[in-house]
Amino acid sequence: MPRRRTGSCAVGRQKRAQILISAAERFAAGGYHRTPMAQIAADVGLTEGGLLYHFPSKKHLLLAVAQHRLDVASAWW
């Protein structure tokens, strides 16, 4: 049986970007430890399992947010 496509790479990159924006806002407002993964998932229309597909742990998400901020800052310079 052929494998069914569930989405494109562009859709995945867009969803990942939405997650990073939401996580950055939530971490800034409430702090890393006080921000539940479920809230970030709900912000972008995912289940917590769907969020974990993109980022296997909260620590991975924090590192991705930090990397995104560094990328934006270096592009600005």
- Say which residue, 4 or 45, is predicted with more confidence: 45
Quick: pLDDT tens for 36-68.
999 999 999 999 999 999 999 999 999 999 999
What pLDDT was estimated at residue 77? Answer: 83
Task: For residue 29, tell me if it sits in a domain.
Answer: yes
Quick: pLDDT tens for 10-39.
888 999 999 999 999 999 999 999 999 999
- Asked whether the predicted pLDDT for residue 1 surpasses 90, the reply is no
At 33, which CATH number? 1.10.10.60
Provide the domain limits for residue 42.
9-76
3-state secondary structure the chain: CCCCCCCCHHHHHHHHHHHHHHHHHHHHHHCCCCCCHHHHHHHCCCCHHHHHHHCCCHHHHHHHHHHHHHHHHHHHC
Please give the share of the chain, as a percent, with pLDDT higher than 70. 91
